[in-house]
Amino acid sequence: MKFPVRVLPLAVLLFILPFPHTTALRLLALAVGLVASAWSWRREGFPQIPAKNAILLWSCCALLSLATAVDPAYSLGEIKNEIGYAMAAFLSFVTLTRTRQDAVFFIIALILGNLVLTVLGLWDTFSSGTTTWVNGRAGGSGTYSTYQLALLPVLLWAGTLLRHKQRWNLIFGLIVLQLVVAAFVEQRVFWMVFAVQALTALYLLRARGFIAISASRVRTIGIAAVLLSVLAVTGAEVKRQTIGWEQDPRLETWTGVATRIIDHPLAGNGFGREVMKKAYPELLSQEYPAVWHAHNLFLNYGLSMGIPGMIAILALFLLLLRKFWLLSRTDDRIVAMAGICGVLLVTGVVARNLTNDFFQRDLALLFWAIAGMFFGYAQHAHKASEPIASRSAEN
């Protein structure tokens, strides 16, 4: 199966993924992409699955949670959505991101989708007569800001992949566009996580030889990033009249959730974000109905699968982080940049979900698709270099 037919279904998936109410089309694109992957397996064999053992542990803990699930049918459906579809996307992108051309095609699909979504979001915002982000065709502020934090590492990787002379000007413009839109989205945590991503990127790019700047300049840029983050967070609080951190209802919820987890450390209430609402309705706030789950990825896993589930998801992220870190140390600059961007992806997604839980549906698929892209390109680049290395050794 030749390019672009091989990669077109997954490119369509990346384009439509952040748009609300496109579930049927997403699943169709994913199914066709999986068929294209299976065709590739017949000819080239099954690919190596990064973090395979951690993924198996995660999946087993989720399936075991059905034994104590408060609503087994709901939990089984969530396992299908959050693990089954996610792993299909991960496997497909690992398989089909074979060349630089494939990776560029996927990135262009992501960028085009982002531009369309940005236009729709800004149009809905300004047409509503306010400068505050509305929950419209581009999704809510929480989901959109999470999408941006996953997209930013891809934009950085694009600067290495694209061949155009003005590529870095284009990438810089796209990153600035994300920050401008983030000012309208007004999510406080976005700016804190972005600062973490930026500082991590600065360290890794300097350590891996992509940029050459002095340690004093690194410190100056770091301080500036932190100050800008603080100013942006303060501005978002004032503009949206958000309650302070000390009055945040999540603090009380986290205490209650932690108590329930300690009371039942080895058995949860079944996989899925809604288990708090189903198993512990007394934890729901009448004043803040939006707090219907723990608003923390790891606490939600604790309610779902007990402490073993928390360990499983933490181990999964740590192993992915380690594998990306090792990739960042390779000699191939595109692969090394994929490793750096993978570190930023995992760091950003985990940090973002400490105060909420958007590791669900389209945003979970986006994470696994991007991770699969990075690993897939690195794996195929390594295979392509093996014959060259063998010939050199023979000579």
- For the stretch 273-283, pLDDT in tens is 999 999 999 98
Phi, psi of 139, rounded to the nearest 5 degrees: 90, 175
pLDDT of residue 238: 66
> What percentage of residues in the chain have a pLDDT greater than 90?
71
pLDDT over 50 (residue 394):
no
In the chain, the amino acid numbered 108 is: I
Residue-wise pLDDT for 12-45, tens only, equals: 999 999 999 999 999 999 999 999 999 999 888 8
The long-range contacts involving 307-313, CB below 8 angstroms and separated by at least 24 positions, are 307/261, 307/265, 307/266, 308/61, 308/64, 308/266, 309/61, 309/62, 309/65, 309/268, 310/261, 312/54, 312/57, 312/58, 312/60, 312/61, 313/58
Tokens, residue 114: 């982002």
pTM (two decimals): 0.93
Return d(Cα 374, Cα 368) in angstroms, integer.
10
- Mean pLDDT of the 221-227 span: 83
Residue-wise pLDDT for 62-76, tens only, equals: 999 999 999 999 999
